[in-house]
Amino acid sequence: MANQSSRYPILCASFNQDNSGFAISTKDGFKIIDSNTGRLCYDRAVGAFIIVEMLYSSSLLAIVGAGEQPSLSPRRLCLFNTTTGAPLREMTFLTSILAVRLNRKRLVVVLQEKTYIYDSNSLSMLDTIDTVPNLKGLCAFSPSLEGCFLALPASTAKGAVLVYNVMELQLHCEIDAHRSPLAAIALSSNGKYIATASEQGTIIRVHLVSEATKSYSFRRGTCPSTIFSLSFAPSLQLPDILVATSSSGSVHIFSLGFETNQSRTKMSGSFLGSILPYSVNDALDPAHHHVLHNAVSAGVRSYAVARKVDKVADSSSSEIASCRAIISLIAYNGYFQEYTFTLNSQNESTWSLEREFNLVAVISGNAETS
């Protein structure tokens, strides 16, 4: 997730595939930080980068320079080994690289009007996708090998999204999600669900990828706002929550799979069973939406993920009594925050700030919290 403005110290930020670590870049170089401890794992001060992508917690990074010096061209992708401190392979493209995604089998490189699919091991090109002009490099990628999908904008006039099966190298479907062009896309880690937001930023929709059907619509607010990030909670089966950040400075959580007392009369135990029988008006019920206001200053770009979700069962029954999630947030003004979000069976939610530290000041050992 690259910063389009240089007025903030963070140029780009990305979590790895299981959210156990994250990478940030500044004008001086990039850092790899452990999400659980805030410990600096790797630091390289060689200039500005606009893309730093990790492959889980391995030594492999995919990095793209910001172009402030000839050796860091935005058209050159470097696959970098943090153990040896040396490039493994460099690939140069005709135009600037806008996004990179990877897992253990596939490497995806997004340009303005083309997207390239490579084998991660041999780096042989497998396919080329011609796309509509994608100036922001919008894309989403599910790292699971069983449901490995890539999502790209399919139109510049409306919020249509193209879903491509990266393992089978074929188009899976096209989804008309919004009337306005897309501003954010996210796929669940297992590739089962896709979330989208348009440039209006008032409605966030979730679709079931296998059938290209709309499963849920959430109202973020009534006033237009730029959605900076969308992220599903990690899950092997059904995601429990969807996290969003916006230009209003708020963090939004939309509950998907967790039942509350208020909704039990009309919701079944499964995600799809709970929502498909009911109207969109039901899905827009604010009971599904929980907001942390003023997490960052309005207008500051931010990126939030749910790193962990725990469900606590009622001791007197088998029903879920509460849901607790760890929410990690990177603000491009240079700060990391971690919250515990708790939602009980009465649909009452609480936010507790657990950690906060300055990312730019992290130099060694554990980060100091405030």
Q: pLDDT tens across 24-41, in order?
A: 999 999 999 999 999 999
Q: What is the mean pLDDT of residues 295-321?
A: 85
Query: What pLDDT is attached to residue 260?
Result: 35
For residue 44, count other CB atoms closer than 10 A to its CB.
18
Q: What is the mean pLDDT of residues 325-341?
A: 97
> Residue 209 in contact with residue 173, Cβ under 8 Å?
yes
DSSP assignment of 250-298: -EEEEESS---TTTTTT--SSHHHHHTTS-HHHHT-GGGEEEETTSS-T
- Asked if residue 15 is part of any domain, the answer here is yes
Q: What is the mean pLDDT of residues 260-285?
A: 40
The total domain count for the chain is: 1
In this predicted structure, the answer to whether residue 370 has a pLDDT above a threshold of 50 is no
Query: Pairing relation of β-strands 203-208 and 12-15?
Result: unpaired
- Asked if residue 80 is part of any domain, the answer here is yes
Q: What is the mean pLDDT of residues 142-166?
A: 96
User: What is the C-alpha separation between 126 and 169, in angstroms, rounded?
Assistant: 8
DSSP assignment of 126-147: EEEEE-S--TT---EE---SSS
In this predicted structure, the answer to whether residue 335 has a pLDDT above a threshold of 80 is yes
Predicted confidence band at 317 (pLDDT cuts at 50, 70, 90)?
low
Model confidence over 201-212: pLDDT tens digits?
999 999 999 988
Measured between alpha carbons, how far is residue 232 from residues 8, 167, 252 in Å? 26, 21, 12
- Percent of residues, the chain, with pLDDT higher than 90: 73
Q: What is the mean pLDDT of residues 72-77?
A: 98
Strand order in the sheet with 302-313: 302-313, 320-331, 335-344, 349-358
- Asked if residue 326 is part of any domain, the answer here is no
Query: What pLDDT is attached to residue 236?
Result: 64
Query: What pLDDT is attached to residue 261?
Result: 33
Predicted confidence band at 109 (pLDDT cuts at 50, 70, 90)?
very high
Nearest to 229 by CA among 19, 25, 6: 19
* CATH number, domain with residue 58: 2.40.10.480
- Asked if residue 28 is part of any domain, the answer here is yes
User: What is the C-alpha separation between 204 and 196, in angstroms, rounded?
Assistant: 6
Whole-structure pTM value? 0.89
In this predicted structure, the answer to whether residue 338 has a pLDDT above a threshold of 80 is yes
- Asked if residue 66 is part of any domain, the answer here is yes
User: What is the C-alpha separation between 262 and 228, in angstroms, rounded?
Assistant: 30
Q: What is the mean pLDDT of residues 59-71?
A: 95
- Asked if residue 75 is part of any domain, the answer here is yes
Enumerate residues 6+ apart whose C-beta is below 8 A from 296: 245, 249, 302, 329, 331, 333, 335
Model confidence over 275-288: pLDDT tens digits?
333 334 334 556 68
In this predicted structure, the answer to whether residue 200 has a pLDDT above a threshold of 90 is yes
Enumerate residues 6+ apart whose C-beta is below 8 A from 134: 98, 110, 111, 112, 113, 152, 153
Query: What pLDDT is attached to residue 222?
Result: 84
- Asked if residue 291 is part of any domain, the answer here is no
Residue 289, Cα to own-chain centre: how many angstroms?
A: 18
The residue count of the chain comes to 370
> What mean pLDDT, rounded, does the chain reach?
88
- Asked if residue 13 is part of any domain, the answer here is yes
- Domain span at residue 71? 9-97
Predicted confidence band at 216 (pLDDT cuts at 50, 70, 90)?
confident
Query: What pLDDT is attached to residue 82?
Result: 97
